Amino acid sequence: MSHSPARSGRRADARQNAEKIVQAAVACLGRNAEASMNDIAREAGVGRVTLYGHFPSREALVEAALIRLLAQGNEVLKAVDLTGDPRDGLRALVESGWLLIAQAASVLQAAQTALPSGRVQELHAKPEQRVHDLIRRGQAERVFRVDIPADLLASVLHHILHGAATDVVAGRLDPTDAPRFVAEMALAVCAVPPATLGTD
Amino acid sequence: MSHSPARSGRRADARQNAEKIVQAAVACLGRNAEASMNDIAREAGVGRVTLYGHFPSREALVEAALIRLLAQGNEVLKAVDLTGDPRDGLRALVESGWLLIAQAASVLQAAQTALPSGRVQELHAKPEQRVHDLIRRGQAERVFRVDIPADLLASVLHHILHGAATDVVAGRLDPTDAPRFVAEMALAVCAVPPATLGTD
């Protein structure tokens, strides 16, 4: 199929507008989780017709902003060396993951409100897979507990990290202490429990 | 001040209607987190005018339903014996708390969507206080870790329990395994870490 130069020019403009809108959504929602479609259109320098032409609802646009941040985050996490002791790997992964989540906290909050329940966690499939693979290896090497399924350990790490991020947003947790505490708690959950645990 | 019998009769009717509406909200939202004001009015057997007279918005009614469940849950938790070893106390508290959260999962989901961010956790002040006091005692007795503040440990337990409840709702976690796993992870987070933890 061949297209007229005018049509492919319009398509390039459309792509450029979509890109501007997603970047504006990341910026606006990053400053204010309740940013409106109008706020985002203004930031992107496009009209409402163009905005809604690309993203028919605020939900669709919040999702696009989150997908963008997750893709960028996945690139960062790819660079974390997970080849050594799984405990060191987990600490490094949690600390990097924590920074990404803290930077994305406001967009994540917008997504929790705007997207259907469970969708935010679904969109985390790639980083979750990375954590999951590391936990499985740690279990195989018997440095992580095997009495709780890897799926559940990975899910709990997700809840600990995201919960701590909401604690920072709410002013309940000092962001400078958070990475170390979060990594400690992640290790505590995954590590083989000491023989003295509990009294029964 | 004295009131006419007619007026106090109307006030008694109003109280009765408010009570019927809150009970209907707990029941409807318990079956379906997206239940509408109309669904709840129908279940309560009251008209829309009466419903909105008592609860001007769905948000107000979802909050009233959650407050009701939390008050009932607090009575259950009061009965848990926390006087012995803090680790046994934590296990008992988490297992009871888990049952309450699992029963309330659908109403909690409605609340997470309908109420402003942070409000659901604010409303948990009483059960949180119970967990918090137990953690402090465990820290004082040196069976719980002291390198992480009690506030943060309590908050992480909140996130683990509520996260696991969403995992059950989403079909990612078997509800029969959940109480044991959740209690194990709660203890793992709070217990004094083994000397071998980490490699540095």
* pLDDT score, position B194: 65
Q: Do B185 and A187 touch (CB under 8 A)?
A: no
Mean pLDDT of chain B: 89
Q: Do B184 and A148 touch (CB under 8 A)?
A: yes
User: Mean pLDDT, to the nearest integer, of B112-118?
Assistant: 81
Closest in B85, B109, B181 to A117, CB measured: B109
Class of residue A27 by CB neighbours under 10 A (exposed 0-12, middle 13-18, buried 19+): middle
CB environment B156-166: b (16+ within 10 A), e (fewer): bbbbbbbbbbb
Closest in A87, A151, A162 to B172, CB measured: A151
Identity of the residue numbered B190: C
Answer with the residue of higher pLDDT: A59 or B11. Answer: A59
Domain B62-200: homologous superfamily in CATH: Tetracycline Repressor, domain 2 (1.10.357.10)
Which chain A residues have a beta carbon less than 8 Å from that of B88? 198-200
Whether the Cβ atoms of residue A70 and residue A124 lie closer than 8 Å to each other: yes
Identity of the residue numbered A83: T
Q: Do B199 and A85 touch (CB under 8 A)?
A: yes
Taking an 8 Å Cβ-Cβ cutoff, which residues of chain B contact chain A? 33, 85, 87-88, 91, 109, 112-113, 117-118, 121, 145, 147-148, 151-152, 155-156, 158-160, 162-164, 166-167, 169-170, 172-173, 181, 184-185, 187-189, 191, 193-194, 197-200
Low pLDDT (below 50) residues in chain A: 196-200
Taking 70 as the threshold, does the pLDDT of residue B23 lie above it?
yes
Residue A107 tokens, joined: 């967009």
Q: Do B188 and A193 touch (CB under 8 A)?
A: yes
In angstroms and rounded to an integer, the radius of gyration of the C-alpha atoms of chain B is 20
Domain ranges of chain A: 1-56, 58-200
Q: Does domain A1-56 have CATH number 1.20.1070?
A: no
How does residue B117 score in pLDDT terms, banded at 50, 70 and 90?
low
Min distance A181 CA to chain B CA atoms (Å): 7
Q: What is the DSSP string of B15-48?
A: HHHHHHHHHHHHHHHHH-TT--HHHHHHHHT--H
Residue B54 tokens, joined: 């008592």
Please state which CATH class domain A58-200 belongs to: mainly alpha
Q: Which of A156-160, B9-13, B184-188 has the lowest mean pLDDT?
A: B9-13
* pLDDT score, position A61: 97
In angstroms and rounded to an integer, the radius of gyration of the C-alpha atoms of chain A is 20
Cα-based distances in Å from A85 to A8, A131, B16, B200:
52, 14, 63, 11
Give the bridge partners for A144, in sequence order: A191
Closest in A148, A155, A167 to B155, CB measured: A167
Q: Do A118 and B170 touch (CB under 8 A)?
A: yes
Give the bridge partners for A191, in sequence order: A144
Taking 50 as the threshold, does the pLDDT of residue B197 lie above it?
no
C-alpha torsion angle, residues B30, B33, B35, B40 (rounded to 10)? 30
